[in-house]
Amino acid sequence: MKWQSISIETNYAAVEAVTEILLTAGADGVQIEESTTTLTVIAYYPQDEQFKNIFNQVNKNLNQLETFDIDASPANIYTNVTSQTDWDNNWKTYYHSQRITRHFTVVPSWESFNPEQKDEYPIIMDPQLAFGTGTHETTKLMIQALETVVRGGESMIDVGTGSGVLAVAAKHLGVQNILATDIDEMSVEVAKENIKLNSSAGNIELMVSDLLEQVDIKPVDLIVANILADVIERLIPQTIPLLKKSGYFLVSGIYDDIESHITEELEKNGYYIVQKSQMGKWHSYIAKLKEIK
């Protein structure tokens, strides 16, 4: 099978809008590649008779962003053909084991794992087309946050699980019951396969849900979300009835320009910030609900 990629060079402030354009055009997911000056958002589509129409629509919507006062500059757009075989081979050439925190190393499924210390754990991933590798700064920040708050035996919801990396890490740390959700059915299937690769991640439950809208369970100890910042704003009020009063909300996917706004939204919804962390342009929060007196 062959795929056509559409790559758009943009900036941090416009990344959500550009991502939404590509997803609306039918992509199952996106990759985000960072350089010192720009972000490149990449999506993949089947190479068939529909691709020309898809590209034209994406290009049209990109050009219309300025009418909504969204500056997507440099807004360069490119296409490229990628075969499934090329994709697989490229990953095996360039994607290798990577230590991401003190306790965790992300390991591709085709490599063996040799720990450097006693309490180093592997998160085995099999990257697939248009899904993350588990090594982005926001993932590192979230796993560090989990290492900070997990004591063992907790219940947790992983919102927008993607590759399943946070759910697997939480299992290693001792979280007992985990529900992992994603709006995209293919993401849920990818996470399911990755969880199977990790023997310690056994009984993680997965479901398709638009954030927490379809989730109907008792309140949990932890809610974690590493997702796009504009979606976080919609998620925040949904977490309140599903989080224990003593629980923690761990969230990342927040870049410099929107950090203060997300802080305001958390506080407006009754949260206070226990800890803020930053890696490059990306931020993460550990938050708790304020006690009602």
What does DSSP say about strands 121-125 and 104-108: parallel, antiparallel, or unpaired?
parallel
Per-domain residue ranges of the chain: 2-91, 135-289
- pLDDT at residue number 159: 97
- What is the residue-wise DSSP string for 31-93? EEEE-SS-EEEEEEEESSTTHHHHHHHHHHHHHHGGGGT---TT-EEEEEEEEHHHHHHHHHH
Top-level class of domain 135-289: alpha beta
Where does 2-91 sit in CATH, by number? 3.30.70.120
- pLDDT at residue number 16: 85
**Nearest-CA neighbor of 40 among 7, 70, 17, 81?**
7
Give the C-alpha distances (Å, rounded to integers) separating 278 from 136, 139, 191, 240, 255.
13, 12, 26, 25, 9
The tens-digit pLDDT sequence of the chain (293 residues) is 688 899 999 998 898 899 889 988 887 667 888 877 789 998 888 888 889 999 999 999 999 999 989 999 999 999 999 887 776 776 677 778 999 999 999 999 889 999 988 889 999 998 665 456 778 889 999 999 999 999 999 999 999 998 899 999 999 999 999 999 998 887 898 899 999 999 988 899 999 999 999 999 999 999 999 987 778 999 999 999 999 999 999 999 898 888 999 999 999 999 999 999 999 888 999 999 998 76
The residue to which tokens 């997702």 are assigned: 227
Distance of CA 16 to the CA centre of its chain: 13
* pTM over cut 0.75: yes
**Contact between residue 137 and residue 280 where contact means Cβ atoms under 8 Å apart:** yes
Domains 2-91 and 135-289 in one fold: no
Q: Which helix H or strand E contains 134, and what residues bound it?
A: none
CA distance 276 to 17: 25
